[in-house]
Amino acid sequence: NAGVTQTPKFQVLKTGQSMTLQCAQDMNHEYMSWYRQDPGMGLRLIHYSVGAGITDQGEVPNGYNVSRSTTEDFPLRLLSAAPSQTSVYFCASSSPNSRDSHEAFFGQGTRLTVV
Amino acid sequence: AQKVTQAQTEISVVEKEDVTLDCVYETRDTTYYLFWYKQPPSGELVFLIRRNSFDEQNEISGRYSWNFQKSTSSFNFTITASQVVDSAVYFCALSEARQAGTALIFGKGTTLSVSS
């Protein structure tokens, strides 16, 4: 099982560039979310989704857009990258209806550097 | 607003010592979920445990045990007879019941270093 797959694993952007971090899960989970991890800050919630067509903001949503057109995919878009967005990004999925109810499965992370 | 506090930034112990990682949370919800995750040096996030707010039973899994006390809003994690492989960053997290497993609010983490 692939679980939660994030691409790319590493990315360097110039300030002002745009890009999309991809996240796909093959567990048919309803819930998906994006976090960023910065040194000394733990993981902070960016956006989350409880189903296709439904998204909501987390703790640090500014500068990021999301959409959820399918159950499997939850891309995170940076419209105009800033150095403050240099971070490690994690995508996660979970389901209230599975044997692993409520456990969040995380991807391997995307290390993004904005120069 | 929800908040998770892990007051211990770093802990260093010698192998075979017991160690307790503290977690204090704040929420206005009456029903919620608490989690512990481990992040080893390789960087992935490993699920350790989930606890419902209405289940205050303590839990033991091998060398790991968890003490949930609603009265003090704490969900502490103890490793008995620590090993070098326990060296990692440990995160405590909280989510509302209606969004259980998603929209996690994490503490800042406790870095545990176990030396031989």
- Please name the residues between 43 and 82 in chain A that touch chain B, using a CB distance below 8 Å: 43-45, 48-50, 56, 58-59
Which residues of chain B have a pLDDT value below 50? none
CB contact under 8 A, A40 and B108: yes
Using CA atoms, how far apart are residues B33 and B47, in angstroms rounded to an integer? Answer: 13
Sign of CA dihedral B18, B105, A4, A80: negative
Per DSSP, the three-state class of A109 is: coil
Query: Of A14-23, A30-39, A100-109, B39-48, where does mean pLDDT reach its minimum?
Result: A100-109
Tell me which residue in B43, B44, B103 faces A33 most closely, judged by beta carbons: B103
Q: What is the pLDDT of residue B11?
A: 98
Classify each residue of B79-96 as buried b or exposed e, where b means 16 or more C-beta atoms within 10 Å of its C-beta.
beebeeebbbbbbbbbbb
Q: Which neighbouring-strand residues pair with B99?
A: none
Q: Which residues of A touch B103 (CB under 8 A)?
A: 33, 45, 48, 56, 58
Confidence (pLDDT) at A1: 64
Q: How far is B46 from chain A (nearest CA, A)?
A: 8
Q: Classify residue B23 as exposed, middle or buried by CB count within 10 Å of its CB (0-12, 13-18, 19+).
A: buried
**Beta-sheet strands, E only, within B1-116:** 3-5, 10-14, 19-21, 24-26, 32-39, 46-52, 59-61, 64-69, 74-79, 88-96, 105-106, 110-115
Q: Are B74 and B34 in contact (CB under 8 A)?
A: no
- By C-alpha distance, the chain A residue nearest B6 is A42
pLDDT greater than 90 at residue A93: yes
CB contact under 8 A, A101 and B95: no
Amino acid in the structure at residue A61: P
pLDDT above 70: residue A100: no
What per-residue confidence (pLDDT) applies to B96?
A: 84
Contact pairs from chain A to chain B, CB under 8 Å: 70
